[in-house]
Amino acid sequence: MTMGTVLELNGSTIYVVDSGEADLPTLLCLHSLWFDHSMFDRLAVEAKGRFRVVRPDFRGQGRSGRSAGRSIEIETCSRDVEALCDTLALRDVHIAGQSMGGDVAWQILRRRPGLVRSLTLMGSSAREEPADQRVWAERWILESQTLGIGGDRAVFLMEALFGRTTLADPARQPMLRHWRTFMEGVGVSGLSPMIGVVERPGVLDLLPSIDTPTLVLSGTEDRVRPPGWSQEVVDLMPNAALVRLGSCGHSPILEVPDQVIPLLFAHIDYVEQS
């Protein structure tokens, strides 16, 4: 697998890890808020020889360039990804979007549907943030600018981003410790992208016009994007299927990879064969 590369794109620096097999179908992995491309590490290992895996860090996250502005909008991130696809000459990509990654994918589909061969959503939705949750989140963000991301605030993020079963499982404590340490290291720099997610545009009106084959994976313990939000995506799209993942929260690719990765690969194989 190739090492990561920093590209100058769209007025910023975007870090991307590309396995580079130009003769294989391309799997474009778009990560969640408070994470980076490495949340797809296991998927990339299992995809070796089967898919070309391209994993960018969104602007303001991971090793990509930071921003001095109040927020980093979903629209900006989606244009960065489009520029990445153009630079690497990627076509007919299969997008796997975890949470925020799904938000970015919708904007790509809005402007350039022909770029996307299939879509897999994990812990994502098509709704804008509900008004009451948005008010609460904006207050939390404002407080965090002074208090930082640690202690009880890090605990809050972990409880939001992982399900109760995962948090209580002794076998998954090393994984959880890794990501808590990672989030604390991100600190207040994660707040600008968080504002972009909280202020994301809803795309429910777009869904009936999208016939891209879509797989929606929803954790039954997801408190950030509850299962009903995944159901309405499938109800509104003409070519979408829903799989509910028991004992799983907001981050299926990390919580239940043994279930998610085979489902994702089977979805892509079916689309490629058809």
Q: Which amino acid is at 122?
A: M
DSSP per-residue codes, 166-185: HHH-GGGHHHHHHHHHHHHH
Give me the pLDDT at residue 3, please: 75
Give me the pLDDT at residue 2, please: 63
178, pLDDT greater than 50: yes
Give me the pLDDT at residue 1, please: 44
CA distances to 32, 48, 270 from 185, rounded to whole Å, are 16, 30, 40
**Average model confidence (pLDDT) across the chain:** 97
pLDDT band, very low/low/confident/very high, at 151 (cuts 50, 70, 90): very high
List all residues 6 or more positions away from 93 whose beta carbon is below 8 Å from its beta carbon: 26, 27, 28, 54, 85, 115, 116, 117
Q: How many degrees, rounded to 5, is the angle at CA 166 between CA 200 and CA 158?
A: 45
Q: What is the largest CA-CA distance in the chain?
A: 53
As a whole number, mean pLDDT of residues 79-86 equals 98
14/114 Cα distance (integer angstroms):
23
Report domain extents, the chain: 5-273
10, pLDDT greater than 50: yes
pTM: 0.97
Beta carbons of 159 and 167 less than 8 angstroms apart: yes
228/71 Cα distance (integer angstroms):
28
What's the gap between Cα 145 and its chain centre? 24
71, pLDDT greater than 50: yes
CATH superfamily of 5-273: Alpha/Beta hydrolase fold, catalytic domain (3.40.50.1820)
- Which is nearest to 225 in space by CA: 211, 244, 206, 239? 244
Residue 225 has which token pair? 């994007």
Give me the pLDDT at residue 68, please: 77
Per-residue pLDDT tens over the stretch 187-245: 999 999 999 999 999 999 999 999 999 999 999 999 999 999 999 999 999 999 999 99
CB burial of residue 89 (10 Å; 0-12, 13-18, 19+): exposed
More confident residue, 69 or 117: 117
Residue 228 has which token pair? 């009903």
29, pLDDT greater than 90: yes
222/255 Cα distance (integer angstroms):
11
